[in-house]
Structure 1
């Protein structure tokens, strides 16, 4: 929940504030004032004192409303709460608004208006009746977007009106909130891909905390620790119970590579090839994190998710939910890159053993297909989903060239698929499991990926 500072509805005690208050006259107030002035002029010309009294009443009433509204001091606090603050594209989020009257006087009629981007829907407006001293009112509205991104909500505007509707004053809160619309994800089947081992399964490399008496890295004693693991030398040194660390399994690694080159995709919108690739990368990230892998998101520019561990992989030192949220926030705003090649990402991949490599690529020419083929050399296994954007825009694709580039990737060791328009990622995932199984893979590699 984001709280706004209390807003005082009284105007500033200067001429500028009074001019703002006079500028808040409604059409009704202006009409009354104009009618009063006209009646007063006619009364003076015709010598009618009764008409003069009516004219003065009509002219003074709006000014009295302005003065009363201008001098009235209401202190109103507003807050906004999003449920949830991170929502998949195409799903709804609810925004809850709360107004608290923190003054000792009841308010008049209040009108609320929240500023939202047009892609989230119409601008919400609410009318609140009199709010008693110390009272509060709560309202809510829904927002929805088919386009991923980060959308600001606010500021919240409060419009105060007098009982006669002669004058309105508007005050704005300063607080903003942000709604993050992340890519759609699909639940991938829990098939056992040939040669794959789970993130913590048998065959995982283990880093032992106790390699020798001088290599012990102890930690403080916690309730429930086995007393047989107490390290007495460290206990004597630090003056508190210290225990030996347990051996920790080393997580298998997985890199998800997303091709964001502008030249590699055609079309735009929620059903475009690029959005399918972003959604597919998000689905793969969530699936692999749930299986216990340490996962890294990498783009063609060579950049990865900010805030990851020193080795670039999230999930090994962070909670999986936090890692997934961090990556989803990155994918929510990822856009096309101006680059034309995949060399930056290849330079990152060739510096280490990456384990499992899952790539989502757009159009590949002969040169870029060769770069992708060389990426396989440093990975335990590699699966490529290649989107032919011409087919997604209903143009006749160059089938011969596409087949040739897929053959090049498969010869290099990739399990490569051409992704037609509207393809189902779970179906392709099952197909990848079948093809890996039929290829005769027997066991995990030392890096924890597919062989």
Structure 2
């Protein structure tokens, strides 16, 4: 929410600026106001030549009326405050957000006709305009409008322009407020089904394997009994040794990890717009992130540039106690992610090697664009740093022509599968939900149950 405070009366240091404001106010005279002023001056000149005092009074009246209107509006425009509120400030692509505008008259005089105009980018819709009747002293008016974008990104709203007019239509003045807000349009996300593969996951999710937290020697030794502890947890051998009731420590769940890799190389995609292959990859990565975090995974977002979302954690993974903030941070990053100028995936491999996960970074879900033979070999090497790996490979050319998957893509898929990936081709118009279920079935039916992975993913 942004607000604009009423300007204070100009001081001695702002006399030049005040004079410029007066000249601008005189420049706001309408055709009617200029006509009245010219008629008054002409009447006063004729009265002086003809010696008619009554005509002089009429001329002064005609000339003073627009000047009085200018003076009143000039003071009034600095006694009107505006504020803007977004509801919500983060929306998925294609969804609507409502912008609420509020005008407050903080002066002791009522205003004349008010015309509001808020500046919005053209992708959010037409520029909103409102006409408000006079606002009484100390009164307020509230209006709202809707914005919507099919393209993700961050869009500034504002500044708000206010045009004041006097009741006689003699003068119109415009005031621009400096405050603005930002609307974040995040990628569309799909609700993915809970897919459980063979084996037990060493962490949260459908498959659970609880392990003791090995934070130190003290964690292995049973602790003293406390009032309310379950007697079934009493460790009798330690009780006999120490001469007092000792209980086993509660087992701690080990949080499963997952890395979502998004290929953003410019040469890997063709076309543009909300239905392009790159936008599908971005939206699918967002869907996977949200789904996996809801299933209890510690997730990080990684791109081909080797950079992960800043602030997700010391190791780049989103912590459980910060899942909501981390999810919002990742979605904000995906809202503005663009093509990279890199030609390879080597920096992503270096980022995976640099992890401190003890050699196993858990599940790896990757969204690749076009892969040549060299990049497919690099992607195959990523499998060495993950317990399980699932790849969605887009043939960007088919997204432009609408044809079938080419033989080159089939060769890349075979190369990834031989390295242990569960690799699936992505055709135009395919829903991630269907591919997600298909990946689950293929990993379950693979030799050994999980392609050599002893864990599971949901």
TM-score by length of 2: 0.84
CA contact (8 A) 2:196 2:207 kept: no
Aligned pair in 2 of structure 1 residues 211, 27: CA closer, same or farther (>3 Å)?
A: same
1:338: which partner in 2? 341
What SS does the aligned partner of 2:283 have?
helix
Deviations 1:183-240 (Å, cap 9, x if unpaired)?
A: 0001111232334636256554635277544999x9xx9xx996999xxxxxxxxxxx
1:42-191 alignment, distance < 5 Å: 57-72=61-76, 75-191=79-195
Aligned ranges for residues 182-221 of structure 1 at < 5 Å? Answer: 182-195=186-199, 197=201, 199-200=204-205, 203-204=208-209, 206-208=211-213, 211-213=216-218
| Aligned partners of 1:10 and 1:74 also within 8 Å | no
Task: Please tell me whether residue 368 in structure 1 is matched to residue 375 in structure 2.
Answer: yes
Is the 2:370–2:396 contact (alpha carbons within 8 Å) kept by the matching residues of 1?
A: yes
Worse-matched range after superposition: 332-341 or 47-56: 47-56
Residue 152 to residue 398, structure 1, CA distance change in 2 (3 Å): same
- Map of 1:245-284 to 2, 5 A cutoff? 247-284=251-288
Distance 1:73 1:23 in 2: 15
1:134 and 1:226 map into 2 onto residues whose CA distance is: 63
CA-based RMSD: 3.2
In structure 2, the residue matched to 1:383 is: 390
Deviates more, 1:332-341 or 1:105-114: 105-114
Secondary structure of the 1:360 match is strand
What do residues 125-166 of structure 1 show as CA deviations (whole Å, max 9, x unaligned)? 222222222222111000011110011112222222211121
Map Cα deviations across residues 269-304 of structure 1 (whole Å, 9 max, x no partner). 111100000000000000100100000100000001
Q: Distance in 1 between matches of 2:62 and 2:45?
A: 13
Unaligned runs of 5+ in 2: 234-247
Partners in 2 of 1:114 and 1:227 — Cα distance? 64
| Cα displacement (A) at 1:98 | 1.4
| Aligned partners of 1:10 and 1:71 also within 8 Å | no
Distance 2:98 2:148 in 1: 9
Tell me: CA distance 1:174–1:341, structure 2 relative to 1, closer, same or farther (3 Å).
same
Given that residues 155 and 172 in structure 1 are in contact (C-alpha distance below 8 angstroms), is that contact kept between their aligned partners in structure 2? Answer: yes
Write the deviation string for residues 43-101 of structure 1: whole angstroms up to 9, x where unpaired.
Answer: 88899887776555444332221123234576233221111110000110001111222
Higher mean C-alpha deviation, range 205-214 or range 22-31 = 205-214
Whole-angstrom distance in 1 between the partners of 2:348 and 2:213: 32
Measured after TM superposition, the shift of residue 361 of structure 1 is: 0.7
Aligned pair in 2 of structure 1 residues 207, 297: CA closer, same or farther (>3 Å)? farther
Partners of 1:176 and 1:423 in 2: CA distance: 39
Which moved further from structure 2: 153-162 or 356-365? Answer: 153-162
Query: How many matched pairs?
Result: 430
Which residue does 1:239 correspond to in 2? Answer: none
TM-score, with length taken from structure 1: 0.85
Does the 8 Å CA contact 2:76/2:107 hold for their aligned counterparts? no
SS at match of 2:178: coil
Partner of 1:233: none
1:321 matched to 2:314? The reply is: no
Question: Does residue 439 of structure 1 match 2:443?
Answer: no
Shift of 1:261: 0.5
Is the contact between residue 195 and residue 437 of structure 2 (CA under 8 Å) also seen in structure 1? Answer: yes
Question: Which of residues 323, 328, 353 is equivalent to 2:360?
Answer: 353
- CA displacement at 1:430 relative to structure 2: 0.9
